[in-house]
Amino acid sequence: MFNYASRFDFPYPEVMEALSTRAIGRAAVRDELARIALPRFFEDGFESVTFDDLAAAAGVSRSTFLRHFGSKEDVVLYVFDPLGDAISGVLASRPTDEDEWVSLRRAVDPVVELLTRDPGAGLALISLVWKTPALWSRLHEKQGSWRPAIADLLAERAGADAAPILVLRTRAMAALGCLMVAFDSWVMGEGSDDLAALTDTTFGSLAPADSTT
């Protein structure tokens, strides 16, 4: 099953911050609730599972479950939460003189790695997301929230002669979009393709252009 202790074994420790005792406990409970909930969604479909079902399965009250996750979508997409910071972290660590588009491709590796680590589980998750419009939307919303930090990092590393921020925001959008299109293909091929290779292909379809037309 999908690994939910993402906060504890996530391979990019620099994105973790100091947590109070209670915050650690809280995160652990969230992990546990999500771990219990996911199979229910996989088996019955996102819409068919109610908060009552989830609470019963987890042995807590509906109130408690709702307090840990503000919405059903949050339960499923919980695993994506740390990826924004992970992407930024990798991007910040790339050499300044590396080609921008290559750095962006590398920045997205944590996502590919997380979904590929457990064969089957990652695909099951993305398949669920892709067959459920509400989840697809919310994932894209989350992805959109990662953009500003990425664009800012691109500006920072380019220094004085950086392209306008609008240009950099566009490239951040494109990079994350390439990842999403790769997911799309991965789901359509039912996992028969290699996600990293698909991502290479989508990134290879585009390139930054000089905006001084």
Q: Decide: helix, strand or coil at residue 69.
A: coil
Alpha-carbon distance of 117 to 84, in angstroms, equals: 18
Residue of 29, 181, 187, 196 that binds its own copies (CB under 8 A): 181
- The alpha carbon torsion through 187, 193, 197, 202 (nearest 10 deg) reads -40
Does 173 bind its own copies (CB under 8 A)? Our answer is: yes
Does 149 bind its own copies (CB under 8 A)? Our answer is: no
Which one of DNA, its own copies, none is in contact with 124 (Cβ closer than 5 to 8 A by kind)? none
CB of 206 to its own copies, least distance (A): 6
Does 67 bind DNA (CB under 7 A)? Our answer is: yes
Alpha-carbon distance of 116 to 30, in angstroms, equals: 22
- Separation in Å, CA 23 to CA 17, 112, 120, 140, 145: 11, 28, 31, 27, 23
Tokens standing for residue 138: 């919310």
Residue of 31, 34, 41, 73 that binds DNA (CB under 7 A): 73
Which one of DNA, its own copies, none is in contact with 38 (Cβ closer than 5 to 8 A by kind)? none
Residues lying near DNA in the complex (CB under 7 A) are found at 20-23, 25-26, 29, 49-52, 60-64, 66-68, 70-73
